[in-house]
Structure 1
């Protein structure tokens, strides 16, 4: 497998021939510097994993039926563009979450003597809308200030599952808050 072209490696991966996992690892290693560059620019803890996963997904999407993709230069260009577009997509998604994610003022929760009974009852009412898993994740995220990674390890689910569960819970609470 030493002298194989990119086209042969991509074809091996897409049809899942014997050794396709090694081919994936070889290509990940080959494009690792570019992936690391964009990961550094994203500057958040799971950016390297997300960009690597995006890269692997790209390997399955390369249109090898197109005759132009029999030449390595077109495959390299396609992969470079895909990694860059992944960086842009993750960056925009991160910025959108950063600016629009609702924040909970933890200072009012820490000082229990300052929080009025009505607010406490309202928070309890909002939390009662959630499943046990959602309550646990919201509690760990906003009351105990755990990161998504720490929550995923504690609860035993993936970081992506933590994030989607948190977003689902926040959506439920927001919907209820806006309707009442």
Structure 2
């Protein structure tokens, strides 16, 4: 039975065909799940695969050959991996390196340094902490922070510079 036949049977509700398709693409999904290190990454990729299979047109003559449909699904999974990695990179804080261009460099790679940084941030006001978080951890630019906080760019820059000076003095 070709993959094209399995896809059509799966779309018709054959659970055995679904299992076989997932087994075929399991190695590539495992690879990308390991690379992303997310808890639910493999499940996200399986859900994507199911949605992709359901979108494939039954009358598409391009998919009659196994190599074409395998390539299409593999590339689609790879693109989903890239999309997920971009999404996860915004929120992951495994290792944050803050190079503040002011001779202040902090590297978080264990629990002790994270505690030290959190203690260091206690010298800042709430507004300064918020600006530092938005700029250096969430990677927003000054315009975005100014818009979000409903203040001018100059005010954001002043808050940032005062916070960095306080951090430098307390180190």
If the length of structure 1 is used for normalisation, what is the TM-score?
0.51
Contact 1:13 1:24 in 2 (8 A): yes
Match of 2:21 in 1: 27
Q: Does 1:6 align with 2:3?
A: yes
* Structure with the bigger percentage of strand: 2
User: What residue ranges of structure 2 are gaps of 5+ in the alignment?
Assistant: 94-113, 128-144, 152-171
CA deviations over 1:26-63 (Å, ceiling 9, x no partner): 11112111110111111121111111111111111223
When Rg is computed on C-alpha atoms for both structures, the one with the higher figure is 2
User: What residue ranges of structure 1 are gaps of 5+ in the alignment?
Assistant: 100-104, 123-173
Q: Does 1:61 align with 2:55?
A: yes
Give the CA deviation at 1:85: 0.7
Contact 1:42 1:91 in 2 (8 A): yes
CA distance in 1, matches of 2:28, 2:92: 25
Match of 1:178 in 2: 149
Of 52, 66, 73, which residue of structure 1 is paired with 2:67? 73
If the length of structure 2 is used for normalisation, what is the TM-score?
0.53
CA deviations over 1:125-160 (Å, ceiling 9, x no partner): xxxxxxxxxxxxxxxxxxxxxxxxxxxxxxxxxxxx
CA deviations over 1:88-145 (Å, ceiling 9, x no partner): 010011113348xxxxx999x99xxx89xx96xx9xxxxxxxxxxxxxxxxxxxxxxx
Q: Using the TM superposition, name which of 46-55 and 32-41 deviates more.
A: 46-55
Matches within 5 A, 1:117-132: none
What RMSD over aligned residues (CA atoms) do the two structures have, in Å?
A: 3.7
- Aligned pairs, number: 119
